[in-house]
Each structure stands twice: as C-alpha cells, then as structure tokens.
Structure 1
Amino acid sequence: MQSYRKLRGLSQRELAARSGVALSLIRKVEQGERKSVRIETVRAWATALDVTTTALLGPVPETEQQSGNGDRLAPLRQALQGLPADVEDVPTADGLRSAIASAVRLYHDDEYAELTTILPVLVKEAQTPVEHGGPEALAVRARVLQLVGSLATQTRAFDVAEIALEGAVTDAIETGDRVEAASAVITSCWLLLRRRRLDEARSRAVDWADEIEPRMSRATSTELSAWGWLLLRGSAAAIRDNRPDEADEMMRLALSGAVRMGREHGSYHEYFTTFGPATVQMKRVENAVIEHHPERALRLAREVPPGSRPTSDNRNRHLLDVANAHVMLREYDKALDILSQLACEAPAWLPNQRYAKDMLQTIVGRRRTLTPEMRKLANAVGLEP
C-alpha cells in the first residue's frame, strides 16, 4: 500500500482522510505491525488510491485460515487423498443420493460436528462406483466433494476445501452436465472470495456465466438459478475489488433472472442452495454494506420479499450485513440484538464468521464496561480478549 500511496503523492494522514480509516491503522500496516486487515478496509484504501483491491491484497494469513478445524478435519483430508476404502458392500447410486440429501440437510442445519463424522465415509463410498465408470457415478461423487468443499470453506479449512472443490469441478465437467459443473464452480468461487483471490473469483464466475447463459424465454428454474448464482459470485468479487460498475451490471443481470423465476427456487437437496428475488435482494444489501452505504443497505433490507425461504446460511449472512449497517450508523444496540439472535439460532455457524467477530470487536471497543449479555455473546463468537 505504501508504494501506491507515495505514487499518488499522499501522506498517511491524507490517505486516512480520504479513506475514512484511522491513521493509526495505516501506520501499523505500513510498518508491518498489523498483518490482518478486513477486506472492507482494504477496499476503502483502494477507492482512495484509485486502484483495485486486488492490487493491495496479500494472501490470507495462516491464522485466519484454519480456526482450529485442521485436526478435526484430518479424517476428511485423508479420505480425499484416496486412502483405501473399507466398504464391504458396494453402495448403490440411489443409496448414495439419499445419503447426500441427508448430509446436505445437516449442512444447512449447521450440524457441522455430525457432518464431519459422516463425510469421510461418504467420500470413500462415492469413490467405489466411480471405479466402475459412468457419468452418473461421477455426478454423485461431484456432489459429495462439493459438500465437503462447502463445509471446509464455511469452517475456514481452506486446504481441504481446495482439494475437494478441484475434484468436484473436474468430476462435474466430465459428466457433460453444464448445470452440474456450474454448481461446483459456484462453490469454488465462494472459496476464492474467502481466500481474497478476488480477480480469480470474478473471472471464473464471469466465464462460466457466459458459458451457460440461458435463453430467458425457455430456461428452466435450475438453469436460471445456476446462471444467477454465478453472477452473484462475480458481483461479490467485483464490488470487493473496487469495480462497482461491473458489480452493478452483474447484479442487474442476476435480478433479471430472479424476476423471470418470480419466487425462490430450489431446496436443501438440489445444488445446495436457493435462488430467486429474495436472494438477489439480500445480495444487494451485502454490496451496499461493502460500499459503505448503510442507509441504503437498511432500505434494501426492508424490501426483501416477505415470506421468502432462502437457505439458512444465506439468511444468516444477510442478517450479519444488516447488523453491520447498524454498526456503521453507531446503532450498536440494534446490531447486538441481531448478533444475539444469531447466537441462539445458529450457534455452530456463528463462531466460524470472522465478520461477526470483527463487528463485536468494534462494539466492545466503544464500551467502557460489558454487560453480561455482551460477555456471553463474545464467548459465543469466539472473541478473544
């Protein structure tokens, strides 16, 4: 960052004024005293310096990647490495599909501990039919690997996620089913976003959206969902990479697909997520928060279609965005109410969200003393002193 700042002829104080980021943080980053900075902060600097966020980003620090999940996922890592399976009976395709549906339900119910136990067995069982060939067996294994990648990305075990999702994309492409392949790519783009590989996430999402773009007049809901989610991933990468025009265009296209559908489509058993007007509206809220427009974010949040049924993880992420908009407006009590709600409703999901920890850290920093409820919440999100 220092080199870009000097090229622009800005002092640290002037960059602080332009970006709205504390001068003390800029000094710590440039002096190497602070290694980890939120991507929203980096984006503020990128906007002030008129560069992409990617130009300022480094790799995700190791301390942010594992969050204590490495050892817990060791059996899953071993299963992905293709260790010999101990399967007495060759599983049937129908049996595997049923097992996958149950596992996906566990994922969306935030039952991560149980899922971590089940998935190594499921990975090995999915390998057995593939040895006998056939696109159907590859599609089943792709679904299993995509679920592994989703769990590992959610719990920040990025090395496991990368292995699983590379396999999922490869298997899905070999099936010849473009929507199946796009589904795996959508999850891989989420991993790239979490790893701050913004340009790669944007490029992959855009390329695949172009590849599978449907004809609106006769596209199925599944085709529209896959295309729409690729656009949402691309928009998320573009807005974080300080490319607002690209982000808006992709969001506009995604909205056109959602409007064509008319309602949320999908279930916990198909492509791991839902898509429709509510999902797109929630992602519009997310983009507004990234752009640091809290009033617009809250207005957009009030326009989320009532009675919609997005998957729990998308809905939970949306609530974090709403909470952050309140933090930006210094409406800390409203933000705390939302975080407390999530601590009760998603106790396994919330501790894996660095976003929630950063918000609570901001709130705690503004208070001289903490209430018992705030201390309880700090423990729930894993906020360290």
Structure 2
Amino acid sequence: MKVYGSLLLQAGNAHARAGNAVAAKHFLGEARQIAAKVPDGQCYHSSIFGPSSIAMQHTDIAINLGEFGDALAASKTMPGGGSALHLLGKCRHDTDRALVHLKTGDTDKAVALLSSTASAAPFWFQNQRLSKSIVKDLLHTPASKSPQLRGLATKLGVC
C-alpha cells in the first residue's frame, strides 16, 4: 500500500507541474485515503509514505499550482512537526514552507525556516536552486535588513 501511495503522490506532483489541478488533486486525494490506513514514517522498498508524506506533497502540489494559501494550510497539517520524515525530506519541506511564507508575506518566518535548514544540512542547502531563489527574492523585501538573511545570501553567493 505504501509503494502504491507513493506512486499516487508522484502522479499528483507530475500533474501539478503540468498545471492540471483536477488530476493533481485527484491523485492526492487517493493517496490521502491510503495514508490514513498506514503507520507514518516507515520505509518499504526505499519508499517512505504516510500522513507526513501527504502533508509534504500536498504543500508541494499546491505550490506548483500557485495556490499558496492552500500550500500554507497544507504545511500546517504535518504530523509531529515532521519527525517521521528523514532529514533531507524535512529540509525540503521546510524550504517549501519558506517559499510559501515568502509568497504569503511572512518574510521573517521564511528567513527563520531557511536559517534552520541551512544549519541542519549545510551542504544540501547550498546546492539547492530553490534555496538560492528564495534568498534572492527575500533580498527585495523588508527582510533584506536581517543579518540572518544577509548571512544566508553570503553563504549561497547571491548577494
């Protein structure tokens, strides 16, 4: 069931990236039904699937559809603060959350999430295009005066 649920999420993400909201939400809904029946955070066949995966991928799907209000709501449904996710999964989700907070106007929260992610996985963070893009965009907001953001910009070479 977990592998099937993971495949449904991949299909949902593919449709979201193609701009097909109806299909993306259909596959997300199907995956959500399966996730309700399985324990969170267990890995089968190199696939982690469960309620945490649903929260993470729902956020990503909403971002890809440009539905930032929905993405913000989805990000808040993460069970246990993401404790069932592996480190890089949590970092990816927190980077998505930073983007959502940037897009919804909470730039201080975006900076805090990026800073936390940079501390948790510095090499990963420095090699992500999304991290660089968010930091560049934050430099054009009132958060640009933040020493924390300036440090991230320097670290990423985007100042």
For 1:235, the equivalent position in structure 2 comes to 12
Q: Is the 8 A contact 1:261 1:276 kept in 2?
A: yes
Pairs aligned (count): 158
1:359 aligns with 2:134: yes
For 1:310, the equivalent position in structure 2 comes to 85
Shift of 1:272: 3.5
| Equivalent of 1:291 in 65, 82, 91 | 65
- Post-superposition, which runs of at least 4 consecutive aligned residues in structure 1 deviate over 3 A? 270-273, 367-372
**1 or 2 for the larger relative contact order (CA 8 Å, sep ≥6)?**
2
2:94, 2:143 → 1: CA distance?
26
Could you list the runs of 5+ residues in structure 1 that have no partner in the other structure? 1-223
Could you list the runs of 5+ residues in structure 2 that have no partner in the other structure? none
What's the RMSD between the two structures over aligned residues? 2.0
Aligned partner of residue 260 in structure 1, secondary structure: coil
Aligned partner of residue 343 in structure 1, secondary structure: helix
For 2:32, the equivalent position in structure 1 comes to 255
Shift of 1:326: 0.8
2:54, 2:152 → 1: CA distance?
29
For 1:324, the equivalent position in structure 2 comes to 99
Shift of 1:262: 3.8
TM-score normalised by structure 2 residue count: 0.88
1:383 aligns with 2:147: no
2:144, 2:73 → 1: CA distance?
32
For 1:338, the equivalent position in structure 2 comes to 113
TM-score normalised by structure 1 residue count: 0.39
For 2:124, the equivalent position in structure 1 comes to 349
Shift of 1:384: 3.0
C-alpha change, 1:304 and 1:372, in structure 2 (3 Å) is closer
Shift of 1:313: 1.7
Shift of 1:291: 2.1
1:282, 1:241 → 2: CA distance?
19
Aligned partner of residue 36 in structure 2, secondary structure: helix
Shift of 1:273: 4.2
Report the residue type matching 2:40 in the other structure. Answer: R
What are the Cα deviations for residues 210-253 of structure 1, in whole angstroms up to 9, with x where unaligned?
xxxxxxxxxxxxxx221111111111111010111111111111
C-alpha change, 1:368 and 1:359, in structure 2 (3 Å) is closer
1:262, 1:346 → 2: CA distance?
26
Larger of the two Rg values belongs to structure: 1
Identical aligned residues as a percent: 26
Q: Is the 8 A contact 1:297 1:325 kept in 2?
A: yes
